[in-house]
Amino acid sequence: MITLDAHQTAQLLPYPQLADGIEAMLMEMRSGTARAPERLHFSLSEPERGRRGGVLLVMPATNRDVAMTKHITVHPENCRAGKPSIIGEVMVFDPHTGERLMLLDGPTITGRRTAAVTLFAARKFAPRPKGPVLIVGAGVQARAHLEAFAAGMGTRHFMIFSRSPERAHALADHAATLGVEATVIDAIEPVLNTVSIVIAATTSSEPVLPDSDVHRWRDDIFVAGVGSFRPDMRELPPQLCRDAAVRGTLVVDTWEVKHEAGDLLHAAIDWGRAVPLLDAIITPDRFRSSGPVLFKSVGYALWDLAAVLCARANLAKDGVPVS
């Protein structure tokens, strides 16, 4: 069995190729050759006052050639002790024999495939994909999205907002190593008329973006909410969610949002106005409208499977057999 650490896993998952792999996986979903159940979401401890408890996520998936299971534990309070908040692994095995083939770093798979899905959605649906990008948050997902849009969209200018200025400046310094410009800002609303894409990548329990009572969202903006994945987590304002659903376009990565996306649940959106990513790709003209585009992602095991297939293909290119 091949065992790869975080750095080795990342090297096998270049963002542009991974975004293409997401599209290929959507086609496998359409044909029924790739399958995944709803993920198991299991609380490991009761949250204490002012602190959030740990969660175990188990996500299996398979196609005709390979199967995998991702085990991830999320402990938001670990950051207070200088420990990673996401820990886990992806086990890859032969679906016909059960033979274990690879062990990949789970947080790296999660971060990179999530950013690649957002990149793919922005390529397809952003009205102005080449403009400046605002990233709200400065953690693992914020970093992955900055890297993905720099590599896969050619974005040269980012704006970063975080409640931790120190982390925001660290992310801006990282952007400089990639040859792109990143400006740390201390308020979101003043820049919303200058950016074309907004990415919310936080684990906030309250909206981090202004609501339309204060700010009216432009019709040519693309907003991605990727940080919240539980009913008690909200980073998108309710009116933005409703506005996208009613007069714009609301695309969701998977129907698991119906019981996991706190943003959309709190907004009480009409699910009949939400469009799964696969449907939006197959018949895009049916869902296009003049309002803002909102992409909500909570994660899906088939995105992890797409990452596994990408890593497997790149190992084969390097002459490393995985079978």
Q: 32-69 pLDDT, tens per residue?
A: 999 999 999 888 877 666 567 788 999 999 999 999 99
Say what the pLDDT of residue 21 is: 98
**Domain containing residue 50: CATH number:** 3.30.1780.10
Say what the pLDDT of residue 216 is: 72
Band (pLDDT 50/70/90 cuts) for residue 109 is very high
CA angle 100, 105, 107 (to 5 degrees): 135
Say what the pLDDT of residue 319 is: 79
Say what the pLDDT of residue 49 is: 60
In this prediction the pTM is 0.93
d(CA 310, CA 104): 12
Among 52-66, 117-131, 245-259, 283-297, whose mean pLDDT is lowest? 283-297
SS3 content of the chain, % helix, strand, coil (to 5): 40, 20, 40
Alpha helices in the chain (DSSP H): 6-11, 15-31, 106-125, 140-152, 165-177, 238-247, 257-260, 262-267, 277-282, 301-317
252, β-bridge pairs: 276, 296
Question: Does residue 219 or residue 36 have the better pLDDT?
Answer: 36
Please report whether residue 323 resides in a domain: no
d(CA 286, CA 233): 31
pLDDT, mean of residues 248-261 = 92
Sign of the Cα torsion 275, 276, 277, 280 reads: negative
State the chain's mean pLDDT as an integer: 92
- Clarify whether residues 169 and 235 are in a common domain: yes
d(CA 272, CA 253): 15
Question: Does residue 291 or residue 147 have the better pLDDT?
Answer: 147
Band (pLDDT 50/70/90 cuts) for residue 200 is very high
Please report whether residue 286 resides in a domain: yes
Say what the pLDDT of residue 271 is: 94
Say what the pLDDT of residue 74 is: 86
- Clarify whether residues 125 and 270 are in a common domain: yes
- Clarify whether residues 92 and 131 are in a common domain: no
Tokens of 139: 């953690």
Secondary structure class of 210 (helix, strand, coil): coil
- Clarify whether residues 272 and 306 are in a common domain: no
pLDDT, mean of residues 291-312 = 96
Residue 79 has pLDDT above 80, yes or no: no
The domain in which residue 18 lies consists of 2-109+302-318
- Clarify whether residues 47 and 144 are in a common domain: no
Among 44-53, 140-149, 201-210, whose mean pLDDT is lowest? 44-53
- Clarify whether residues 152 and 105 are in a common domain: no
List Cα–Cα distances, 76 to 55, 83, 110, 204, 205, in angstroms: 9, 10, 15, 10, 12
- Clarify whether residues 141 and 267 are in a common domain: yes
Residue 213 has pLDDT above 70, yes or no: no
CB-facing half-sphere around the CA of 191: CA atoms within 13 A: 22
d(CA 299, CA 174): 25
> pLDDT, tens digit, for every residue of 81-106?
888 888 999 999 999 999 999 999 99
Say what the pLDDT of residue 288 is: 65
60, β-bridge pairs: 69
Say if residue 273 is exposed, middle or buried (CB neighbours under 10 Å; 0-12, 13-18, 19+): middle
